[in-house]
Structure 1
Amino acid sequence: MPPVNELQHPDRDALVLEDVLFALSDPARLDLVRQLRESSLTAASCTTLDPAMPKSTRSHMLKVLREAGVIRNVPEGRNRRLSLRREDLDARFPGLLDAVL
């Protein structure tokens, strides 16, 4: 069990293609993944997210991506660092990210 402030992430071998494709099917989530392709982001500074978007919607979007294994969301001080799990996704589903992004 991870510490209280850490979220669970699926292991590489547990990634499911249908879950990854579902997570990438939403335009806002896909846009965030495109940003993460370049470098990691602080969750508070996700520029793809509409400032008018409710916090609950943003949280759900990040949860879907994390639970599918597309992103890693880890504590960094008072914020959270978001990063694309490119290596894991490429190992599990070669060429998928290149085709989708």
Structure 2
Amino acid sequence: MIVKQASHPSPEEMTLVTVMGALSDPIRVGLVRILADGRERGWGELRAPIAKSTLSHHLRVLRDAGLTRTRQEGTRCFVELRHHDLNARFPGLLDAVLEAAHNDDVGAHVTVAGDPQPT
């Protein structure tokens, strides 16, 4: 069986327009907020009020922009935020986005399995 490896742009290949475009959707901002804790998450742990295929699309947009790194282990996929690479390429941008998202409650409807649901 051949497993297709996900490609990830190097920090030098990341562009501001692509990163900002990826952050233009509340679901994707919510995913970034979840991943900002530095933990790698299994795709199955992520909860959003959308179809699994749509969640997969959003995760691919984040990966293609360079915001996340995806790793496959057997049949499971894991995702983590590329905080260090983003800060090296765009210093302060991620922290500013996360603070604004928290202040405006953007993406709060995206959760992790087992966490209490937002009210």
TM-score, normalised relative to structure 2: 0.76
Displacement of 1:55 in angstroms is 2.3
Q: Aligned residues, how many?
A: 96
> In structure 1, how many angstroms separate the alpha carbons of the residues matched to 2:59 and 2:67?
10
Equivalent position SS for 1:6: coil
Aligned mates of 1:97, 1:46 — CA distance in 2: 20
1:73 aligns with 2:70: yes
User: What is the deviation of 1:57?
Assistant: 0.9
* Counterpart Cα distance in 1 of 2:3 and 2:13: 22
Q: Is the 1:36–1:84 Cα contact (8 Å) retained in structure 2?
A: yes
| Partner SS state of residue 36, structure 2 | helix
Q: Show the counterpart of 2:46.
A: 46
RMSD between superposed Cα atoms in Å: 1.2
1-side partners of 2:78 and 2:51: how far apart?
A: 20
Higher helix share: 1
Q: CA deviation at 1:78?
A: 1.8
Aligned-partner residue type, residue 43 of structure 2: A
Residue in structure 1 matched with residue 91 of structure 2 by the alignment: 94
Moved over 4 A (4+): none
Structure 2: runs of 5 or more not aligned: 99-119
Q: Which has the larger radius of gyration?
A: 2
Q: Percentage identity across aligned positions?
A: 46
Conservation of the 8 A alpha-carbon contact between 1:5 and 1:75: no
TM-score, L = length of structure 1:
0.88
| C-alpha deviation, 1:6, in angstroms | 1.3
